[in-house]
Structure 1
Amino acid sequence: MKILVVEDDLALSAGLCFELDMNGYITVAAYNCQKVRQLVQNETFDLAILDVNLPDGNGFELCREMRERCPDTPVIFLTANDLEENILKGYDLGAEDYITKPFNIKILLKKVDVALRHSEKAEKKKWRAPGELRRQGTSIPTPFPGRWMKERALMSAGIIRKTG
Protein backbone atom coordinates (compact mmCIF):
# COMPACT_ATOMS: atom_id res chain seq x y z
CA MET A 1 0.00 0.00 0.00
CA LYS A 2 1.40 3.36 -1.07
CA ILE A 3 0.72 6.39 1.13
CA LEU A 4 1.24 10.03 0.22
CA VAL A 5 2.42 12.01 3.25
CA VAL A 6 1.95 15.77 2.84
CA GLU A 7 3.64 17.56 5.72
CA ASP A 8 5.81 20.69 5.59
CA ASP A 9 7.57 20.01 8.90
CA LEU A 10 10.54 17.98 7.63
CA ALA A 11 11.24 16.24 10.94
CA LEU A 12 7.61 15.23 11.41
CA SER A 13 7.37 14.09 7.79
CA ALA A 14 10.49 11.95 8.16
CA GLY A 15 9.15 10.45 11.41
CA LEU A 16 5.76 9.68 9.87
CA CYS A 17 7.32 8.08 6.83
CA PHE A 18 9.67 6.04 9.01
CA GLU A 19 6.83 4.70 11.19
CA LEU A 20 4.64 3.93 8.18
CA ASP A 21 7.55 2.24 6.37
CA MET A 22 8.32 0.16 9.46
CA ASN A 23 4.71 -1.00 9.44
CA GLY A 24 4.87 -2.28 5.87
CA TYR A 25 3.64 0.72 3.91
CA ILE A 26 5.40 2.48 1.05
CA THR A 27 5.52 6.22 1.61
CA VAL A 28 6.05 9.19 -0.66
CA ALA A 29 6.69 12.52 1.06
CA ALA A 30 5.66 15.92 -0.26
CA TYR A 31 6.28 19.19 1.53
CA ASN A 32 4.06 21.54 -0.48
CA CYS A 33 1.03 21.67 -2.78
CA GLN A 34 3.10 22.04 -5.94
CA LYS A 35 4.89 18.75 -5.32
CA VAL A 36 1.61 16.97 -4.58
CA ARG A 37 0.11 18.20 -7.85
CA GLN A 38 3.10 16.80 -9.73
CA LEU A 39 2.95 13.48 -7.91
CA VAL A 40 -0.76 12.80 -8.43
CA GLN A 41 -0.39 13.36 -12.18
CA ASN A 42 1.98 10.42 -12.48
CA GLU A 43 1.28 8.16 -9.52
CA THR A 44 -1.64 6.62 -7.69
CA PHE A 45 -1.87 6.33 -3.93
CA ASP A 46 -3.88 4.09 -1.66
CA LEU A 47 -4.14 6.82 1.00
CA ALA A 48 -3.15 10.46 1.51
CA ILE A 49 -2.25 12.03 4.85
CA LEU A 50 -2.60 15.81 4.54
CA ASP A 51 -1.53 18.70 6.71
CA VAL A 52 -3.81 21.73 6.41
CA ASN A 53 -1.22 24.52 6.73
CA LEU A 54 1.25 24.27 3.85
CA PRO A 55 3.72 26.89 2.58
CA ASP A 56 2.06 27.37 -0.82
CA GLY A 57 -1.59 26.63 -0.07
CA ASN A 58 -3.75 24.61 2.24
CA GLY A 59 -4.67 20.99 2.63
CA PHE A 60 -8.38 21.67 2.25
CA GLU A 61 -7.95 23.00 -1.28
CA LEU A 62 -5.49 20.20 -2.01
CA CYS A 63 -8.05 17.64 -0.82
CA ARG A 64 -10.67 19.18 -3.11
CA GLU A 65 -8.29 18.94 -6.08
CA MET A 66 -7.32 15.37 -5.23
CA ARG A 67 -10.98 14.35 -4.95
CA GLU A 68 -11.50 15.53 -8.53
CA ARG A 69 -8.49 13.61 -9.84
CA CYS A 70 -8.66 10.48 -7.69
CA PRO A 71 -12.02 10.34 -5.87
CA ASP A 72 -11.48 6.88 -4.37
CA THR A 73 -8.26 7.73 -2.52
CA PRO A 74 -9.00 8.02 1.20
CA VAL A 75 -7.69 11.14 2.95
CA ILE A 76 -6.72 11.62 6.58
CA PHE A 77 -6.04 15.15 7.77
CA LEU A 78 -3.20 15.45 10.27
CA THR A 79 -2.99 19.03 11.47
CA ALA A 80 -2.66 21.44 14.35
CA ASN A 81 -5.92 23.12 13.28
CA ASP A 82 -8.30 21.94 15.97
CA LEU A 83 -11.20 24.36 15.55
CA GLU A 84 -14.57 22.70 15.16
CA GLU A 85 -15.21 24.47 11.85
CA ASN A 86 -11.95 23.11 10.42
CA ILE A 87 -12.67 19.58 11.57
CA LEU A 88 -16.16 19.71 10.06
CA LYS A 89 -14.77 21.18 6.83
CA GLY A 90 -12.33 18.27 6.60
CA TYR A 91 -15.11 15.74 6.93
CA ASP A 92 -17.31 17.71 4.50
CA LEU A 93 -14.52 17.43 1.93
CA GLY A 94 -14.71 13.65 2.27
CA ALA A 95 -11.88 12.92 4.70
CA GLU A 96 -11.88 9.50 6.33
CA ASP A 97 -10.53 11.04 9.51
CA TYR A 98 -9.24 14.28 11.02
CA ILE A 99 -6.42 13.95 13.56
CA THR A 100 -5.08 16.91 15.50
CA LYS A 101 -1.49 17.39 16.59
CA PRO A 102 -0.04 16.37 18.93
CA PHE A 103 -1.09 12.82 18.21
CA ASN A 104 -0.30 9.26 19.23
CA ILE A 105 1.53 7.36 16.47
CA LYS A 106 -0.10 4.03 17.39
CA ILE A 107 -3.55 5.56 17.04
CA LEU A 108 -2.58 7.14 13.70
CA LEU A 109 -1.33 3.77 12.44
CA LYS A 110 -4.60 2.12 13.49
CA LYS A 111 -6.63 4.84 11.73
CA VAL A 112 -4.52 4.37 8.59
CA ASP A 113 -5.21 0.63 8.73
CA VAL A 114 -8.95 1.18 9.17
CA ALA A 115 -9.13 3.73 6.31
CA LEU A 116 -7.31 1.33 3.99
CA ARG A 117 -9.58 -1.57 5.00
CA HIS A 118 -12.67 0.54 4.29
CA SER A 119 -11.19 1.52 0.94
CA GLU A 120 -10.46 -2.12 0.05
CA LYS A 121 -14.02 -3.14 0.94
CA ALA A 122 -15.42 -0.38 -1.24
CA GLU A 123 -13.13 -1.44 -4.08
CA LYS A 124 -14.29 -5.05 -3.83
CA LYS A 125 -17.91 -3.95 -4.16
CA LYS A 126 -17.24 -2.24 -7.48
CA TRP A 127 -17.82 -3.94 -10.78
CA ARG A 128 -15.13 -6.21 -12.10
CA ALA A 129 -13.04 -5.10 -15.04
CA PRO A 130 -15.21 -4.43 -18.10
CA GLY A 131 -16.13 -7.64 -19.81
CA GLU A 132 -15.44 -9.90 -16.85
CA LEU A 133 -18.46 -11.42 -15.18
CA ARG A 134 -18.75 -14.13 -12.58
CA ARG A 135 -21.06 -17.09 -12.75
CA GLN A 136 -20.59 -19.83 -10.22
CA GLY A 137 -17.03 -18.68 -9.56
CA THR A 138 -15.84 -18.60 -13.19
CA SER A 139 -15.09 -15.62 -15.40
CA ILE A 140 -17.20 -15.09 -18.49
CA PRO A 141 -15.73 -12.72 -21.10
CA THR A 142 -18.27 -10.41 -22.75
CA PRO A 143 -16.58 -8.71 -25.72
CA PHE A 144 -19.66 -7.01 -27.17
CA PRO A 145 -20.53 -3.26 -27.28
CA GLY A 146 -23.04 -2.07 -24.72
CA ARG A 147 -21.73 -4.71 -22.40
CA TRP A 148 -22.62 -2.88 -19.18
CA MET A 149 -26.31 -2.76 -20.13
CA LYS A 150 -26.29 -6.47 -20.87
CA GLU A 151 -24.37 -7.18 -17.66
CA ARG A 152 -26.99 -5.29 -15.66
CA ALA A 153 -29.79 -7.15 -17.41
CA LEU A 154 -28.11 -10.50 -16.69
CA MET A 155 -27.65 -9.51 -13.05
CA SER A 156 -31.28 -8.42 -12.76
CA ALA A 157 -32.37 -11.76 -14.13
CA GLY A 158 -30.21 -13.55 -11.57
CA ILE A 159 -28.08 -15.20 -14.23
CA ILE A 160 -24.88 -13.61 -13.01
CA ARG A 161 -23.83 -11.84 -9.82
CA LYS A 162 -21.52 -9.02 -8.84
CA THR A 163 -18.37 -10.27 -7.15
CA GLY A 164 -17.03 -9.02 -3.84
Structure 2
Amino acid sequence: MARLLIVEDDEGIRVPLTRALEREGYAVDGCGDGHEALARAAAAEHDLIIIDVGLPGIDGLEVCRRIREQRPSVPILFLTAQDGELDIVDGLDAGADDYVTKPFRVSELLARVRAHLRRTTVELAEAGDVRIDQAARRAWRGADELELSPKEFDLLALLVREAGRVVTRERIMAEVWDENWFGSTKTLDMHVSWLRRKLGEDASDPRHVQTVRGVGLRFEP
Protein backbone atom coordinates (compact mmCIF):
# COMPACT_ATOMS: atom_id res chain seq x y z
CA MET A 1 0.00 0.00 0.00
CA ALA A 2 1.41 3.39 -1.01
CA ARG A 3 1.76 5.98 1.78
CA LEU A 4 1.18 9.64 0.96
CA LEU A 5 1.89 12.87 2.84
CA ILE A 6 -0.41 15.89 2.37
CA VAL A 7 1.00 19.25 3.50
CA GLU A 8 -1.95 21.67 3.46
CA ASP A 9 -2.90 24.22 6.12
CA ASP A 10 -6.53 24.52 4.97
CA GLU A 11 -8.44 21.71 6.69
CA GLY A 12 -11.33 22.28 4.29
CA ILE A 13 -9.04 20.94 1.57
CA ARG A 14 -6.80 18.56 3.52
CA VAL A 15 -9.50 16.55 5.30
CA PRO A 16 -11.75 15.71 2.30
CA LEU A 17 -8.70 15.07 0.12
CA THR A 18 -7.34 12.69 2.75
CA ARG A 19 -10.65 10.83 2.80
CA ALA A 20 -10.75 10.60 -1.00
CA LEU A 21 -7.23 9.18 -1.12
CA GLU A 22 -7.97 6.70 1.66
CA ARG A 23 -11.03 5.50 -0.27
CA GLU A 24 -8.64 4.77 -3.14
CA GLY A 25 -6.68 2.49 -0.83
CA TYR A 26 -3.77 4.75 0.11
CA ALA A 27 -2.40 5.31 3.62
CA VAL A 28 -2.40 9.07 4.17
CA ASP A 29 -0.63 11.33 6.67
CA GLY A 30 -1.44 15.03 6.88
CA CYS A 31 0.02 18.18 8.41
CA GLY A 32 -0.53 21.91 8.13
CA ASP A 33 2.87 23.61 8.24
CA GLY A 34 6.29 23.37 6.73
CA HIS A 35 8.22 22.50 9.90
CA GLU A 36 6.10 19.42 10.58
CA ALA A 37 6.25 18.48 6.91
CA LEU A 38 10.04 18.43 6.96
CA ALA A 39 10.08 16.35 10.14
CA ARG A 40 7.67 13.81 8.66
CA ALA A 41 9.40 13.70 5.29
CA ALA A 42 12.76 13.03 6.98
CA ALA A 43 11.46 9.60 8.02
CA ALA A 44 11.39 8.66 4.29
CA GLU A 45 8.18 6.66 4.73
CA HIS A 46 6.14 8.31 1.98
CA ASP A 47 5.86 7.24 -1.65
CA LEU A 48 4.46 10.60 -2.82
CA ILE A 49 4.13 14.05 -1.23
CA ILE A 50 1.49 16.69 -1.96
CA ILE A 51 2.44 20.23 -0.88
CA ASP A 52 0.44 23.45 -0.81
CA VAL A 53 2.55 26.37 -2.04
CA GLY A 54 1.07 28.88 0.42
CA LEU A 55 2.07 27.36 3.75
CA PRO A 56 2.54 29.35 6.96
CA GLY A 57 6.08 29.57 8.30
CA ILE A 58 8.26 27.82 5.74
CA ASP A 59 6.52 28.18 2.38
CA GLY A 60 5.83 25.25 0.09
CA LEU A 61 8.63 26.07 -2.35
CA GLU A 62 11.24 25.93 0.40
CA VAL A 63 9.71 22.76 1.85
CA CYS A 64 9.93 21.17 -1.59
CA ARG A 65 13.58 22.21 -2.03
CA ARG A 66 14.60 20.73 1.32
CA ILE A 67 12.69 17.48 0.79
CA ARG A 68 14.19 17.16 -2.68
CA GLU A 69 17.70 17.44 -1.20
CA GLN A 70 16.93 14.56 1.18
CA ARG A 71 14.88 12.42 -1.22
CA PRO A 72 15.80 13.05 -4.86
CA SER A 73 13.40 10.49 -6.32
CA VAL A 74 10.16 10.87 -4.31
CA PRO A 75 7.33 12.31 -6.46
CA ILE A 76 6.21 15.77 -5.28
CA LEU A 77 2.98 17.37 -6.43
CA PHE A 78 2.15 21.03 -5.73
CA LEU A 79 -1.26 22.48 -4.91
CA THR A 80 -1.36 26.14 -5.88
CA ALA A 81 -4.02 28.85 -5.96
CA GLN A 82 -1.85 30.75 -8.44
CA ASP A 83 -1.76 29.89 -12.12
CA GLY A 84 0.74 32.38 -13.46
CA GLU A 85 3.58 31.03 -15.58
CA LEU A 86 6.23 32.37 -13.20
CA ASP A 87 4.72 30.52 -10.21
CA ILE A 88 4.57 27.26 -12.15
CA VAL A 89 8.21 27.63 -13.21
CA ASP A 90 9.23 28.42 -9.62
CA GLY A 91 7.50 25.27 -8.41
CA LEU A 92 9.13 23.04 -10.99
CA ASP A 93 12.51 24.66 -10.38
CA ALA A 94 12.09 23.93 -6.66
CA GLY A 95 11.91 20.25 -7.52
CA ALA A 96 8.20 19.50 -7.95
CA ASP A 97 7.19 16.88 -10.50
CA ASP A 98 3.71 18.25 -11.16
CA TYR A 99 1.15 20.78 -9.95
CA VAL A 100 -2.62 21.16 -9.68
CA THR A 101 -4.24 24.60 -9.59
CA LYS A 102 -6.98 25.32 -7.05
CA PRO A 103 -9.87 24.88 -7.32
CA PHE A 104 -9.27 21.38 -8.70
CA ARG A 105 -11.36 18.31 -9.34
CA VAL A 106 -10.52 15.51 -6.93
CA SER A 107 -10.70 13.03 -9.81
CA GLU A 108 -7.98 14.96 -11.65
CA LEU A 109 -5.69 14.99 -8.63
CA LEU A 110 -6.27 11.27 -8.02
CA ALA A 111 -5.39 10.54 -11.64
CA ARG A 112 -2.12 12.47 -11.32
CA VAL A 113 -1.26 10.70 -8.07
CA ARG A 114 -1.83 7.33 -9.74
CA ALA A 115 0.27 8.34 -12.74
CA HIS A 116 3.26 9.38 -10.61
CA LEU A 117 3.04 6.31 -8.41
CA ARG A 118 2.97 4.08 -11.50
CA ARG A 119 6.27 5.59 -12.62
CA THR A 120 7.89 4.61 -9.35
CA THR A 121 6.29 1.17 -9.13
CA VAL A 122 8.67 -1.78 -9.26
CA GLU A 123 8.80 -3.34 -12.69
CA LEU A 124 8.12 -6.88 -11.43
CA ALA A 125 4.98 -7.90 -9.56
CA GLU A 126 3.87 -11.32 -8.36
CA ALA A 127 0.77 -12.69 -6.66
CA GLY A 128 0.24 -16.42 -6.21
CA ASP A 129 1.26 -18.18 -9.42
CA VAL A 130 0.87 -15.06 -11.60
CA ARG A 131 3.90 -12.91 -12.45
CA ILE A 132 4.07 -9.59 -14.28
CA ASP A 133 7.06 -7.95 -15.95
CA GLN A 134 5.87 -4.39 -16.49
CA ALA A 135 8.89 -3.23 -18.48
CA ALA A 136 8.76 -6.15 -20.92
CA ARG A 137 4.93 -6.25 -20.85
CA ARG A 138 4.97 -10.01 -20.29
CA ALA A 139 2.87 -12.09 -17.90
CA TRP A 140 2.96 -15.70 -16.76
CA ARG A 141 0.77 -18.09 -14.85
CA GLY A 142 3.12 -20.68 -13.42
CA ALA A 143 5.55 -21.60 -16.20
CA ASP A 144 3.13 -20.65 -18.99
CA GLU A 145 3.38 -17.23 -20.61
CA LEU A 146 0.02 -15.58 -21.18
CA GLU A 147 -0.93 -14.13 -24.56
CA LEU A 148 -2.69 -10.92 -23.59
CA SER A 149 -3.99 -7.91 -25.48
CA PRO A 150 -2.66 -4.51 -24.33
CA LYS A 151 -5.77 -3.79 -22.23
CA GLU A 152 -5.82 -7.30 -20.77
CA PHE A 153 -2.20 -6.88 -19.74
CA ASP A 154 -2.83 -3.47 -18.16
CA LEU A 155 -5.87 -4.80 -16.31
CA LEU A 156 -4.01 -7.85 -14.99
CA ALA A 157 -0.96 -5.76 -14.01
CA LEU A 158 -3.12 -3.35 -12.00
CA LEU A 159 -4.97 -6.17 -10.22
CA VAL A 160 -1.76 -8.07 -9.42
CA ARG A 161 -0.10 -4.94 -8.02
CA GLU A 162 -3.14 -4.45 -5.78
CA ALA A 163 -3.54 -8.17 -4.96
CA GLY A 164 -5.86 -8.79 -2.01
CA ARG A 165 -7.41 -5.31 -2.22
CA VAL A 166 -10.56 -4.23 -4.03
CA VAL A 167 -9.93 -2.01 -7.06
CA THR A 168 -12.98 0.05 -7.92
CA ARG A 169 -14.47 -0.01 -11.42
CA GLU A 170 -13.92 3.75 -11.61
CA ARG A 171 -10.22 3.41 -10.88
CA ILE A 172 -9.85 0.59 -13.40
CA MET A 173 -11.54 2.63 -16.13
CA ALA A 174 -9.35 5.63 -15.32
CA GLU A 175 -6.04 3.74 -15.26
CA VAL A 176 -6.54 1.06 -17.90
CA TRP A 177 -8.65 3.05 -20.31
CA ASP A 178 -8.64 6.81 -19.74
CA GLU A 179 -9.20 9.14 -16.82
CA ASN A 180 -11.78 11.00 -18.94
CA TRP A 181 -13.64 7.84 -19.97
CA PHE A 182 -17.39 8.45 -20.08
CA GLY A 183 -18.53 5.37 -22.00
CA SER A 184 -20.10 2.15 -20.81
CA THR A 185 -18.11 -0.06 -18.44
CA LYS A 186 -19.41 -3.12 -20.33
CA THR A 187 -16.05 -3.16 -22.09
CA LEU A 188 -14.48 -3.88 -18.70
CA ASP A 189 -16.80 -6.84 -18.17
CA MET A 190 -15.80 -8.26 -21.54
CA HIS A 191 -12.10 -7.90 -20.79
CA VAL A 192 -12.56 -9.54 -17.39
CA SER A 193 -14.26 -12.47 -19.08
CA TRP A 194 -11.44 -12.83 -21.64
CA LEU A 195 -8.78 -12.47 -18.95
CA ARG A 196 -10.35 -15.19 -16.80
CA ARG A 197 -10.45 -17.50 -19.79
CA LYS A 198 -6.75 -16.93 -20.50
CA LEU A 199 -5.95 -17.58 -16.84
CA GLY A 200 -7.78 -20.90 -17.17
CA GLU A 201 -10.47 -19.95 -14.66
CA ASP A 202 -14.01 -21.21 -14.28
CA ALA A 203 -16.21 -18.22 -15.12
CA SER A 204 -18.80 -19.31 -12.55
CA ASP A 205 -16.21 -19.74 -9.79
CA PRO A 206 -13.04 -17.77 -10.64
CA ARG A 207 -10.00 -18.36 -8.46
CA HIS A 208 -8.02 -15.20 -9.10
CA VAL A 209 -10.12 -12.40 -10.64
CA GLN A 210 -13.08 -12.02 -8.33
CA THR A 211 -15.96 -9.57 -8.65
CA VAL A 212 -16.93 -7.56 -5.60
CA ARG A 213 -20.51 -6.75 -6.52
CA GLY A 214 -21.28 -3.06 -6.75
CA VAL A 215 -17.66 -2.05 -6.11
CA GLY A 216 -15.05 -3.54 -8.42
CA LEU A 217 -12.55 -6.39 -8.70
CA ARG A 218 -10.12 -8.13 -6.36
CA PHE A 219 -7.21 -10.36 -7.33
CA GLU A 220 -6.88 -13.29 -4.94
CA PRO A 221 -3.43 -14.90 -4.91
- TM-score w.r.t. length of structure 2: 0.53
Per the TM alignment, residue 43 of structure 1 is displaced from its structure 2 partner at its CA by: 4.1
Which residue of structure 1 lines up, in the alignment, with residue 99 of structure 2?
Answer: 98
Post-superposition Cα deviations, 1:70-106, rounded to whole Å, max 9, x if no partner, equal 1111000011021110101112233221110000110
Structure 1 segments, 4+ long, off by >6 Å, are: none
Q: In structure 2, what is the Cα distance between the partners aligned to 1:37 and 1:75? A: 13
Counterpart residue identity of residue 9, structure 2: D
Which residue of structure 2 lines up, in the alignment, with residue 139 of structure 1?
Answer: none
Per the TM alignment, residue 40 of structure 1 is displaced from its structure 2 partner at its CA by: 1.9
RMSD of aligned C-alpha atoms? 1.5
Which residue of structure 1 lines up, in the alignment, with residue 30 of structure 2?
Answer: 29
Q: In structure 2, what is the Cα distance between the partners aligned to 1:10 and 1:91? A: 25
Written as runs of structure 1 = structure 2, the 5 A alignment for 1:72-91 is: 72-91=73-92
Counterpart residue identity of residue 107, structure 2: K
Q: In structure 2, what is the Cα distance between the partners aligned to 1:32 and 1:101? A: 18
Per the TM alignment, residue 42 of structure 1 is displaced from its structure 2 partner at its CA by: 2.6
Which residue of structure 2 lines up, in the alignment, with residue 52 of structure 1?
Answer: 53
Q: In structure 2, what is the Cα distance between the partners aligned to 1:86 and 1:70? A: 23
Which residue of structure 1 lines up, in the alignment, with residue 11 of structure 2?
Answer: 10
Q: Which has the higher contact order (CA 8 A, sep 6+)?
A: 1
Normalized per residue, the structure richer in helix is 1
Counterpart residue identity of residue 67, structure 1: R
Q: In structure 1, what is the Cα distance between the partners aligned to 2:49 and 2:42? A: 14
Which residue of structure 2 lines up, in the alignment, with residue 64 of structure 1?
Answer: 65
Alpha-carbon distance change, 124 to 66 in structure 1, aligned in 2, over 3 angstroms: farther
Per the TM alignment, residue 44 of structure 1 is displaced from its structure 2 partner at its CA by: 1.8
Counterpart residue identity of residue 8, structure 1: D
Counterpart residue identity of residue 36, structure 2: K
Q: In structure 1, what is the Cα distance between the partners aligned to 2:63 and 2:48? A: 14
Written as runs of structure 1 = structure 2, the 5 A alignment for 1:127-142 is: none
- TM-score w.r.t. length of structure 1: 0.71
Q: In structure 2, what is the Cα distance between the partners aligned to 1:2 and 1:54? A: 21
- Of all paired residues, the percent bearing the same amino acid is 37
Q: How many equivalent residue pairs?
A: 123
Written as runs of structure 1 = structure 2, the 5 A alignment for 1:106-117 is: 106-117=107-118
